[in-house]
Every structure is written in structure tokens, then in C-alpha cells.
Structure 1
Amino acid sequence: MSYIAKMKIKQVTDILEELAPLVHAEDFDNVGLLVGDVEAEVKGILVTLDTMENVVDEAIATDCNLIVSFHPIIFGGLKKLTGRTYVERVVIKAIQNGIAIYSMHTALDNVQEGVNGKICEILGIAHPKILIPKKGTIEKLVTYVPLKDAEALRTSLFEAGAGNIGKYSDCSFSTQGTGSFKAGEQAHPVKGEIGEIHYEEETQIHVIYSKSHRSRILKALFENHPYEEVAYELFVLENTDQNIGMGMVGELPEPVDETEFLERVKQKMNVSVIRHSRLLEHKVNRIAILGGSGAFAIEAAKGSGAQIFITSDIKYHEFYKAEDKIVIADIGHYETEQFTKTLLVDYLTKKIPNFAIRLAESKTNPIKYL
């Protein structure tokens, strides 16, 4: 994207959603614009992991009126804004100073180029794949169109993002049949006459698409379909998209000792201590990653054939789930997600060069080590 002298918040959030569509966030999450007006002009962008009061103060001091935060400052419902809690104080200060807050959280967790992809890059884990593919991300459109218009409509749907399956594009399935309809008195039929049943040789077109493309697919359908009333059906498929989901698993260039790899993790991830299950005294080359709280993915990590699972927030009894089949390594919640800030700054800088984009210097990790 070329230099844009003025941008609205909506333009910036659209760019962020190209990287991490909000529809990929988990249902429990609270992502998107949490504070602010989408039509406000952006003066500067401050990128942070958490939006605390010191981050809002930094935004004020650096003349940034949009904070792009990984974690949402508003997670549950807010019933009062009295300044009694740290959440209320942050929201009040942001509103008073005209600062918008946008959160990405699990939307960014669930894409390949997101949190876990960044960890794999830092640790040198090659050929990473999604550990737990997300369900409900693939949809199918079925529509009916006159034979002579089928190719043009199919092409427009492909151009809008439909028909992509793995490494293949322009995928569809078509059948031919006879459609019938009778136009009412207020209709303006393209085919047939008002009040008479009309039969038309039609093509039934099936295409799949990512849930994040639904609006543009429907826009293409309605703009390019010849009928006044478009007959169509939408289905959510059980199929999973192997490029969307939680965690990643990949390979090291060559096997190394467990302790050697964990020392590498400490050095690369700036970790002072690692809590882990019993070492198995094996060489390791297959590693599973899940930034943030990852206890729910222990079984998936074991099932993936990984020898070490890097994550955080593992409770005492959850370490038993290793069952001498994998080493569970808890390196800290902040530590697994800390490089997300750099990822977002790099992405935004590439998309909006010559714009004021800053990496927050304020410390937000609530956990200290003695």
C-alpha cells in the first residue's frame, strides 16, 4: 500500500483484519474496536500486548490516538465506569483523551502468520502446521443461474475469494436442471412473463469459501446474478481449514537433546525459568507450540507426535497429562506472546509505510520473578 496522508480508524482495522479476520476469533473472546469511533482520523498507532494505564499515558505522550492491543482490556461486561477497577480506569482515560483501543487476541492466535507462527520463526521450527484446526470456518454457497450466465457468475465468485481448496483455486461443482417460477404482479422478471409459470434451463453452482469472505461472496453473487430474486443456499461445513486454528507443530532442522532445546528456548524467548514435566532423555525434533494458556491442547500435542510442547499457564495436575509421552514446558504467558507486538508493528509498517506506528515501551507483564 502506498503512503496515505490521512487514515480513519476503519481503514486501519480493515488492514488488521486482512491479517486476522475477526470471524476467526473464539466465541468467548472480545475482539475488534473496543473503544473509539471508526470514523475518527488516526494520528498515530501504538502497538502493545496489554492496554494498561501506563500504555494509555504513553499513547497520550506520543500523540497516538489508536492503541492496537493483543489482549482485550474489556473482556466481560462493563456495568459501571466509576474508576474503581483498573479496567474502568483504562477505559475512562482512553475516552477522556480521544484514544481508540482495538484488540486482536484469538483472531490473531488462529492464523498461521500470527502468535504461534512468530514463535516458530524465533525458535527455528520449520514447516509448521496448525495443531488444532478450527471448526466452522468453511462455508458452501449453492445457487441457480441460467445456463448462458453460469460462467460469468462462477468467475465473479472466484474473484471474490470462493473456490479455494488448499493449494488449488477456482474449484466448483455444477449440475444442470430445470428451474421453475411464476412472477408476481410487482415483479420485473428477466425471464418469463408476469402471472405465468416459466421453466428455465439452469446451472446449479456449488462453491466453498472461508467464512471470513462471506460478505464479499454474497456481494459478488447479488451484483452478478441476472435474476431479480436470487435463489441461493448457505451451509456451514464440518470440514476444517488446515490453515486456521490454535497452536502449531513443526520440525527442528536436526534432532537435539531436550535440555539443549530448552536452553535455546530460554535464550531466544528471554525466559528466566521454565516449568516442565519430567525430561524423557530423548533427542527431540518435533515441537508443538501454543502461545498463551495451552493446557487444553496437551492431548493434541501428544497426538501430533511432538516430543516437547511449549505453552503456558499449566496447573500442577495438568503436568501429569504428559504421561511420559511428551515434555510439557511452561515458559510463561507473557513470554509466549511478547513478540506479537513486533509482528504487528512490522505488518502495519509494511502495509502503511511512512505512517506513525510505534512499539509500546511500557511494561505490562504482571508477573515478576525473584
Structure 2
Amino acid sequence: MQIKEVIQHLETLAPTTYAEDFDNVGLLVGSPETLLTGILVTLDTLENIIDEAIESDCNLIVSFHPIVFKGLKRFNGSNYVERVIMKAIKNDIAIFAIHTALDNALHGVNDMMCEQLGLINRKILIPQRGSIKKLVTFAPIAEAETLRSKLFEAGAGTIGNYDNCSFSSEGIGTFRASENANPSIGEIGKIHQEKEAQIQVTYPKHCEGKILKALFQNHTYEEVAYEITTLENKNENIGMGMIGELPQGMEELDFLKHLKKVFNTGCVRHSALLNKPIKKVAVLGGSGSFAISSAYRAGADIFITADLKYHQFYEAENKLILADIGHYESEQYTKNLIVSYLRKKISNFAIILSDKNTNPIQYI
């Protein structure tokens, strides 16, 4: 197996096309053509993680956080980022980062947080915009149904719990083939009229390559007329954060103690208690202060995240509880999720869960 085959599985779990613009995801070090020896899964890629990969004979590290966020101008080992990259290259170890692609995935970081808390009726807190596209194309009426079916097979036409969704209308298409053309219908130099069906389908943007390939391979015309539009519709299956419900409401202090135990955190920093039961819970792994207002609008009794600053706790405004459980703590179960997924997909290679705690924050 080559590393690129592992990447294909990871792209199915969390397509990197849905990562945030500021992020740096994908294969950061190494060649996708390299033959795989083993996979080490970690939250962060540090020097001791490279050592662990060497000891475990793993030449691919799947890391949640990217070790490189910005461009590096020199490699002289002056900081931990340079040292990690240098050691990885020297030992032929590839590094793949998944980060906000998995943050935005339906069954990703935030779903894992909800799973640990036993939340039910889960849904994305901030659905992503700009991730749904629409294809409009034209085909001879006799061939439209076959083309439509091939587009469906490639991933087009799924809307929520429905698939094979499309819209068609009929009309007359005209064209004239030049002397350099090789028309499948009509004659060179003559204006041709053809009864055509206009086919419209929506699709998630990560499927665009497969859908265009299906369009070109199954269309009879030498030159295929088509247009693609990015829609502003929210994608309810992609986005930041998640909200769900406890099967039974809990008193505030009982829930906060439960939260501290579940995520094994040194402390839970929280805003003022509201003296009402906790039922509806919003979560966002990592730095989630930008989602405070979204959690409130969604009706959350508590919003669990990390890296809240002093003044951001005021934004609770006695409308919900804000709970900061720590950045590492909120994302710690992510590597278990990745390992579990890859072991189901790849059974003939070692997939190792790193036993290193990479949390840079300590508590006394």
C-alpha cells in the first residue's frame, strides 16, 4: 500500500477541501507514492513523536494539528518546528495533518466530544456556507437519463436525506461545427438544431473532480457545455461545532463535575451559574470563542470549548454558561477517532495510537 491510499481514506472521513482558509492541512512532509510501513496517529507532531514513529517502524504520522502553519524560510534547527521537519525528512517519515477538515466533519472532533458526553439529537452548530455547488449541463434528450445516472453515481444530487435529486427542462440547442471539429451529432459547416435536456444537479464541492470526470466521460458531445455555481445554502452536514441534548437534565455543578471527569482536565473555567438545569449542550473543540453567539442562538444551556479570554466570559451575559476545559483536553479523543476509523479501513498495516501526551499546559 502507498501512502496516497491512506490519504484517500482520510479524505473520505474529512475532505481537506472543507478545512478553514487559514489552515495548513494535507500531506506536509513526504511523497504520496512512498510504500507504507505503518501509521502513527497523534494530536501533535513533536520530536518525541518522530522518535516514537521510528521505534514503531511507522513511516506515516497522521497528526491532528499541522506542525507547519506558516512558510519556513530556513532549516537550521533553531526551533521545534524546524527540528521536527528536519528529523522527519532525515528518517523518511511522512506527516499528514487533518485539523480543521476534521473539525468541520459531521463525524469529527465535535461529534467525538458529544459522544463522550452522551449527547443525543446532535447537529452542526455553525453549518458551512459555500460548500454546495450546482452543475448545469445540456445533453440530447435520448441520452439525458444515462448522463443523469452517471452524475448521481459520482456523488451529485444528494440533498439531506434524499438522493437522485435533479431538475430537467427541455429546449432546442444549436451549434455549427468548424472544419477542425469532430462532431458526434450534426455536420461540419452546417447549423444543427438538437432537442436537448437541461440537467441541473447540486453536489458537495469535494466531489467536483469525480462529477466532472463522469460528465466528460459520459457525454456524447465533443465540446461539453456546462456551468458551475457556488451556492450560498448552508451545508447542514459540514461546519464548526455541534449541539445536542443530555438524555436527562443535570444540575449545573453536577454537570461541570461530570465534564471535568470525562475530559480529565485540571480545571474547568466557567462563567456564572444560572441556577437552572443543563439540558442542551453546545461544544466546539479547540479555540471556539467565535461561536459563543451561535451557541446562544441555538438555545444552548452551556457552551463547552477552550482558550476563552478574560473578557470573553462576559459574553455569556447570564444567558448561558461558558465552560473552558482546555485546548488539548477538548481534542484529546480525536486521535482515538482517527485510529478507530483507519483500523476499519486498513487491516493489514500497523495503526498505532501514540501514547505520548503532547499537552504543553500543566496543572498543579
For the aligned pair, the TM-score class normalised by the smaller chain equals over 0.9
Distance 2:299 2:308 in 1: 20
Give the Cα–Cα distance (whole angstroms) in 2 for the partners of residues 78 and 198 of structure 1: 57
Partner residue in 1 for 2:288 = 294
- Residue from 145, 156, 159 that aligns with 1:151: 145
Q: Does 1:217 align with 2:211?
A: yes
> 1:293-344 CA deviation, whole Å, 9 max, x = no partner?
0000000000000000000000000000000000000000000000001000
In the alignment, what sits opposite 1:347?
Answer: 341
| Match for residue 325 of structure 2 among 331, 341, 355 | 331
Give secondary structure in 2 for the equivalent of 1:263: helix
Pairing partner for 2:170 from 171, 176, 192: 176
Partner Cα distance (1:43, 1:296) in 2: 40
Q: Matched residue of 1:245: which SS?
A: strand
Aligned length: 364
Give how far 1:354 is off.
Answer: 3.2
In structure 1, how many angstroms separate the alpha carbons of the residues matched to 2:119 and 2:133? 31
Would you say 1:111 and 2:96 are equivalent positions?
no
Report what 1:129 is aligned to.
Answer: 123
1:271-286 matches, within 5 Å, as 271-286=265-280
1:63 partner SS: coil
Question: For residue 324 of structure 1, what is the amino acid of its counterpart?
Answer: N
What stretches of structure 1 move > 2 A for 4+ residues in a row? none
Matched, 1:77 2:74: no
Deviation of 1:218 after TM superposition, in Å, equals 0.3
How far apart are the structure 1 equivalents of 2:85 and 2:227? 42
Aligned pairs for 1:228-307 within 5 A: 228-307=222-301
| C-alpha separation in 2, matches of 1:354 and 1:188 | 49
AA at the equivalent of 2:48: N
Alignment match of 1:41 (pick from 23, 35, 39): 35
- How far apart, CA to CA, are the structure 2 residues paired with 1:114 and 1:54? 26
5+ residue gaps in structure 2?
none
CA deviation string 1:84-128 (max 9, x = no partner): 110000000000000000000000000111000001001001111
Residue type of the alignment partner of 1:236: T
Between the aligned partners of 1:87 and 1:178, the Cα distance in structure 2 is: 60
- Residues 10-57 of structure 1 deviation map (CA, whole Å, 9 limit, x = unaligned): 000001110000101000000000000110001010000000000001
Residues 1:66 and 2:46 are matched in the alignment:
no
Q: Which amino acid aligns with 2:260?
A: K
> 1:230: Cα distance to partner?
0.3
TM-score by length of 2: 0.99
Partner of 1:199: 193
> What is the root-mean-square deviation in Å for CA atoms of aligned residues?
0.6
User: CA–CA distance in 1 between the matches of 2:220 and 2:28?
Assistant: 40
TM-aligned CA deviation for residue 254 of structure 1: 1.1
Offset of residue 272 of structure 1: 2.1
Output the CA distance in 1 between the equivalents of 2:325 and 2:198.
53
Identity of aligned residues (%): 60
Match of 2:136 in 1: 142
Give the 3-state SS of the residue equivalent to 1:214 in structure 2.
helix
> In structure 1, how many angstroms separate the alpha carbons of the residues matched to 2:304 and 2:192?
63
The one-letter amino acid of 2:60's match is L
Tell me by how many angstroms 1:363 deviates: 2.1
Q: Where does structure 1 lack aligned partners over 5 or more consecutive residues?
A: 1-6
TM-score using structure 1 length: 0.98
Q: Which moved more, 1:88-97 or 1:257-266?
A: 257-266
Q: Deviations over 1:110-161 (max 9, x none)?
A: 0111000001001001111000001111000000000100000000001111
